[in-house]
């Protein structure tokens, strides 16, 4: 088991954004998370990556309790993430964006340029290396965000709606990238995604969150038959 | 040939040459030299502020206060202990960095954006009262006088070259910082804090670093300024030096190197030239600031970008 959460909750005042969530993510799997807007998916990522400490409960990464650590410490343990709202360092070049991940994300603080080149080639952004990030289009911004996260040499990667706003062709490419990272680089992936077919297609296991609670946990194939999931998330559809 | 060296490098080397040779040819004109020395101080102050405000995006408004702390600490150290000012100046800069990091940097770790403005302004605004309360040592409202000169029988040419050395070293180090991974971390935290944190940047460490570095250089410039003028008073903490420094930084280009230096050139020398116009000096200066802000919101460094773009296009056509 690579990541485990035990009764993790996050309250904002009276709002239970994440409510008593237990997860067990195995090494090497692709773990899907879905749920209606406001279900607490992103907040769960924020808690795991340390931006918000949990109000209660524990997050355990490779037998170490990481809840309560600072984001940079959690990053150094080997957890990286991307953001739903595509954020890069707008005034830096693509290469500098990735270097930030490589220099600060790894504990050693040594710049391994062969590793960076490997990532750049893997994602196919060689010819954008010297572009200032604010001049990029959405798909490349997402790739740069991913590249910087990969440069930290992560073991676990949290992807927050990476495919929102992409075209069908771009989604196909992105799925290939996710599979490759998972299979060839051995990175465990947790992915939030609204496109439920895509999520079923790519995930080994799926959970559905609603109102901060886990309402479904299991295999993707059985998801569409689950009554509660149909009720709160998928909808009955026309019969 | 010209294309190979690059016009920017040419411009920088040419300006440095002019500064180095100026006293050799015009050593009788000590007034212009005085303006140059003030320019060195202002340029370092504005550049150090730009490091904090422009690059790191920490909106501290206390930088002129930091400059004055540098002047007082070096002046008092030299006057009361008799140590050579040449040793006092770097010591005072370190002391200033310590004081400011402790009293402004540490508390503002918990603050963001505009709240840092309010907090740092309070710090700067409290300094005159502190000086009045400690008038026994600092001279209070009348100022601190008889600060020892750098060495006995020093001439203005000497001050000119020492000031130039401080200017060169400070700007060189600031240039190295903004192009290092530390500088990139400052920019990363400014551009997108959450992303920077998730990539392993230790926010507290970097923010304390930028406070320490920027106040070191402001303190250094202030310390030299105090020894040069021989006195320093709370009037330096007034609104006009504050506005002048902020205008230099904004006019030159926030978060750009060497934006603040260009801003200092325009404001220090421009304001001297405008003395010829008499009463309307401040009106013209104010209008210039407003016009530049309106038409070049990214400051005078935008001119550099425009020239670069034209060159790029020309090269593209030739190819």
pLDDT confidence band for B276 (50 / 70 / 90): confident
**In this structure, is residue B69 part of a structural domain?**
yes
**In this structure, is residue B144 part of a structural domain?**
yes
Chain B: residue nearest A88 by CA? B192
Kindly state the tokens that stand for B279: 């009463």
Which chain A residues have a beta carbon less than 8 Å from that of B191? 88-92
| DSSP class of A234 | I
Confidence (pLDDT) at B305 = 86
**In this structure, is residue B190 part of a structural domain?**
yes
Is B56 an 8 Å CB contact of chain A?
Answer: no
> What CA–CA distance (Å, rounded) separates B50 from B42?
12
Confidence (pLDDT) at B285 = 84
Tens of pLDDT along B51-92?
A: 999 999 999 999 999 999 999 999 999 999 999 999 999 999
Residues 6+ apart with CB under 8 A from B280: B274
Q: Is the peptide bond before B163 cis (omega within 30 degrees of 0)?
A: no
Kindly state the tokens that stand for B186: 């400052």
The A3-12 sheet, strands edge to edge: A15-25, A3-12, A56-61, A64-65
Q: At what angle do helices B203-229 and B63-81 cross, to 10 degrees?
A: 60
- Give me the DSSP letters along A91-129: TSBHHHHHHHHHHHHSTT----HHHHHHHHHHHT-GGGT
Tens of pLDDT along B263-272?
A: 999 999 988 8
- B191:A89 CB<8 A: yes
pLDDT confidence band for B5 (50 / 70 / 90): low
Question: Above 90 in pLDDT, residue A195?
Answer: no
> What CA–CA distance (Å, rounded) separates B127 from B139?
13
Tens of pLDDT along B87-146?
A: 999 999 999 999 999 999 999 998 988 999 999 999 999 999 999 999 989 988 899 999
Question: Above 70 in pLDDT, residue A110?
Answer: no
Residues 6+ apart with CB under 8 A from B188: A89, A92, A100, B195, B196, B199, B201
Q: Are strands A213-218 and A205-210 parallel, antiparallel or unpaired?
A: antiparallel
Is B201 an 8 Å CB contact of chain A?
Answer: yes
pLDDT confidence band for B3 (50 / 70 / 90): low
Is B182 an 8 Å CB contact of chain A?
Answer: no
Q: Tell me how crowded residue B277 is: count the other CB atoms within 10 A of its CB.
A: 11
Q: What is the mean pLDDT of chain B?
A: 91
Strand partners, B140: none
Confidence (pLDDT) at A237 = 64
Tens of pLDDT along B171-219?
A: 999 999 999 999 999 999 999 999 999 999 999 999 999 999 999 999 9
**In this structure, is residue B297 part of a structural domain?**
no
Testing the interface with A: which of B199, B201, B205 to mutate, by most A Cβ within 10 A?
A: B199
pLDDT confidence band for A229 (50 / 70 / 90): confident
CB-based contact A206:A196 (threshold 8 Å): no
Domain that holds residue B62: 31-237
Question: Above 50 in pLDDT, residue A4?
Answer: yes
3-state SS, residue B240: helix
Least confident of A22-36, A44-58, A214-228: A214-228
CA angle B300, B301, B304 (to 5 degrees): 115
- B188:A100 CB<8 A: yes
Confidence (pLDDT) at B7 = 82
Confidence (pLDDT) at B4 = 56
Contacts of B166-171 spanning 24+ positions with Cβ under 8 A:
B166/B40, B166/B44, B166/B220, B166/B221, B166/B224, B167/B40, B167/B43, B167/B44, B168/B16, B170/B44, B170/B47, B170/B48, B170/B217, B170/B220, B170/B221, B171/B43, B171/B44, B171/B47, B171/B258, B171/B261
pLDDT confidence band for A48 (50 / 70 / 90): very high
3-state SS, residue B317: helix
**Mean pLDDT, residues B259-283:** 87
**In this structure, is residue B313 part of a structural domain?**
no
**In this structure, is residue B178 part of a structural domain?**
yes
Confidence (pLDDT) at A227 = 82
**Number of domains composing chain B:** 1
Residues 6+ apart with CB under 8 A from A140: A94, A125, A128
Q: What is the ipTM of this complex?
A: 0.91
> What CA–CA distance (Å, rounded) separates B246 from B204?
25
Question: What's the predicted TM-score (pTM) here?
Answer: 0.90
Which chain A residues have a beta carbon less than 8 Å from that of B186? none
Confidence (pLDDT) at B319 = 63
Confidence (pLDDT) at B1 = 45
Q: What percent of chain B has pLDDT over 90?
A: 65
**In this structure, is residue B147 part of a structural domain?**
yes
Closest Cβ–Cβ partner in B184, B200, B203 for A105: B200
- Taking 3-state DSSP, the helix, strand and coil percentages for chain B, each rounded to the nearest 5, stand at 80, 0, 20
**In this structure, is residue B194 part of a structural domain?**
yes
**Mean pLDDT, residues A64-92:** 92
Chain B: residue nearest A105 by CA? B200
- A99:B181 CB<8 A: yes
Confidence (pLDDT) at B140 = 86
CB-based contact B85:B227 (threshold 8 Å): yes
Kindly state the tokens that stand for B287: 């209008």
Testing the interface with B: which of A47, A50, A51, A72 to mutate, by most B Cβ within 10 A?
A: A72
Closest Cβ–Cβ partner in B187, B195, B202 for A91: B187
Question: Above 90 in pLDDT, residue B232?
Answer: yes
> What CA–CA distance (Å, rounded) separates A177 from A180?
5
């Amino acid at each position: 088991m690579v990541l485990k959460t035990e009764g993790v909750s996050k309250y904002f005042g009276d709002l239970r954004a994440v409510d008593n969530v237990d997860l067990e993510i195995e090494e090497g799997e692709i773990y899907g998370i879905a749920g209606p807007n406001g279900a607490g998916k992103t907040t769960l990522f924020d808690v795991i990556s340390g931006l918000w400490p949990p109000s209660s409960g524990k997050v355990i990464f490779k037998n170490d309790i990481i809840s309560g650590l600072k984001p940079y410490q959690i990053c150094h343990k080997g957890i990286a993430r991307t953001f739903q709202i595509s954020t890069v360092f707008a005034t830096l070049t693509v290469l500098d964006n990735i270097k930030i991940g490589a220099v600060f994300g790894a504990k050693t603080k040594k710049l391994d340029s062969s590793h960076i080149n490997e990532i750049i080639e893997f994602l196919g952004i060689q010819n954008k290396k010297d572009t200032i990030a604010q001049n990029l289009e959405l798909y490349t911004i997402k790739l740069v965000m991913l590249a910087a996260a990969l440069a930290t040499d992560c073991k676990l990667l949290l992807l927050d709606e990476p495919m929102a706003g992409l075209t069908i062709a771009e989604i196909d490419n992105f799925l290939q990238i996710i599979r490759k990272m998972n299979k060839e680089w051995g990175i465990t992936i947790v992915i939030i995604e609204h496109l439920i077919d895509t999520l079923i297609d790519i995930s080994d296991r799926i959970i559905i969150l609603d109102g901060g609670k886990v309402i479904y946990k299991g295999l993707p194939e059985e998801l569409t038959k689950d009554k509660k999931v149909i009720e709160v998330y998928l909808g009955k559809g026309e019969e | 040939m010209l294309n190979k060296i690059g016009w920017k490098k040419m411009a920088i080397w040419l300006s440095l040459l002019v500064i180095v040779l100026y006293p050799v040819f015009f050593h009788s004109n000590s007034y212009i030299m005085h303006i140059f020395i003030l320019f060195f101080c202002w340029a370092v102050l504005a550049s150090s502020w730009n490091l904090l405000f422009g690059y790191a995006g920490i909106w501290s408004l206390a930088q002129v206060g930091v400059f004055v702390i540098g002047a007082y600490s070096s002046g008092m150290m030299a006057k009361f202990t008799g140590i050579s000012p040449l040793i006092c100046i770097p010591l005072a800069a370190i002391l200033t960095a310590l004081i400011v990091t402790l009293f402004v940097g540490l508390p503002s770790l918990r603050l963001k954006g505009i709240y840092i403005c309010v907090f740092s302004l309070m710090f700067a605004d409290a300094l005159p009262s502190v000086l009045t309360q400690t008038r026994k040592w600092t001279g209070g409202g009348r100022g601190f006088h008889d600060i020892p000169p750098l060495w006995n029988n020093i001439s203005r040419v000497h001050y000119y070259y020492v000031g130039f050395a401080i200017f060169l070293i400070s700007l060189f180090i600031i240039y190295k910082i903004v192009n290092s991974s530390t500088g990139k971390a400052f920019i990363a935290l400014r551009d997108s804090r959450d992303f920077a944190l998730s990539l392993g940047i230790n926010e507290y460490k970097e923010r304390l670093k930028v406070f320490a570095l920027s106040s070191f250089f402001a303190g250094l410039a202030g310390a030299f300024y105090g020894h040069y003028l021989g006195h320093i008073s709370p009037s330096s903490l007034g609104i006009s030096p504050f506005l002048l420094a902020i205008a230099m930084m904004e006019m030159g280009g926030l978060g750009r190197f060497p934006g603040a230096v260009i801003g200092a050139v325009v404001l220090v020398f421009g304001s001297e030239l405008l003395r010829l116009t008499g009463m309307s000096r401040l009106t013209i200066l104010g209008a210039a600031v407003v016009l530049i802000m309106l038409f070049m919101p990214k400051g005078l460094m935008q001119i550099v970008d425009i020239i670069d773009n034209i060159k790029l296009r020309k090269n593209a056509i030739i190819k």
